[in-house]
Amino acid sequence: MNEKTKAHLAVLAANLVFAGNFSVVKYVTPRLIAPFGLNVVRVVVSVSLFWFLWLFGKPDRKIDREDIGRFIISGITGVTINQLLFIKGLSITYSTHASLLMLCTPIMITFSSLIILKEKPSLMRILGLVLGISGAMVLILSKDPTGKGENVWLGDLFVALNATSYSLYFILVRPLLAKYSPLQVIRWVFTIGGILILPFGWNEFISAPWASFSATALAAMAFIAVVATFLGYLLNTYGLQHLKASATGAYMYLQPFFVATIAWFILDEPFGWNKVLAAALIFTGVWMVNKR
């Protein structure tokens, strides 16, 4: 299996766990722990795991002085702003709204790639983007919103800003991946971004009723921190090292389909014609965006 195929599989797996993260986050916050407090759990666990992996890896190359600023901005856009706004926005809006708005990310990545990375537009890529968005909209708009939305407009705004920040991260971090290993890049990005998250979420973290958490609640938080954050970012970073930023972002179109499939198995929700149609449109769109 070549590196590009492995990269596609890694990004596919990352978006599968990101999709599951929507429902698990809605279960945990704000009912059990406040949104920013949950972010502290995510970054502390993830940063610890990234540094633990470093103990068993190859020695890092020295970071060039001219790249320090890019590492800092990548940490701010990819971790601090991204995670704070996503968790807060999802906690006060509908999960379906958040799913739809997150599709702004591949669109922003494509346009950013054209401007910053000088990637060439093509009719095939444009049609792929249109098909992918159409499939996601068929899936999301054909079902009623689930979950509780306390302040839908503000939550939608936070998620949209999060998608914009995450798209900028995709573009900013790619030159770093061309010089340094994926683990070195993601470890420092998370360390920088995590340190900046602590002032926002520390009070909410220490005020959470930890002693009363059930085993299910702790398992849900472990999934968010270890699988959806640590593993998800690691897989996505590996994919970014070998694929175009726009191709990596296009896999986000699969998230609504994954959400529906998970609900079908776990919640026994019907897999109707709308989901079959959406799946066909999404997979065709991703194929067209990635086709040379």
Mean pLDDT of the chain: 80
Domain boundaries, the chain: 3-290
Cβ neighbours, 10 Å, residue 272:
13
pLDDT tens by residue, 247-269: 776 777 677 677 666 666 654 55
Percent of the chain with pLDDT over 70: 74
* Mutual angle of helices 3-28 and 255-266, in 10-degree steps: 60
Which has more pLDDT, 194 or 160? 194
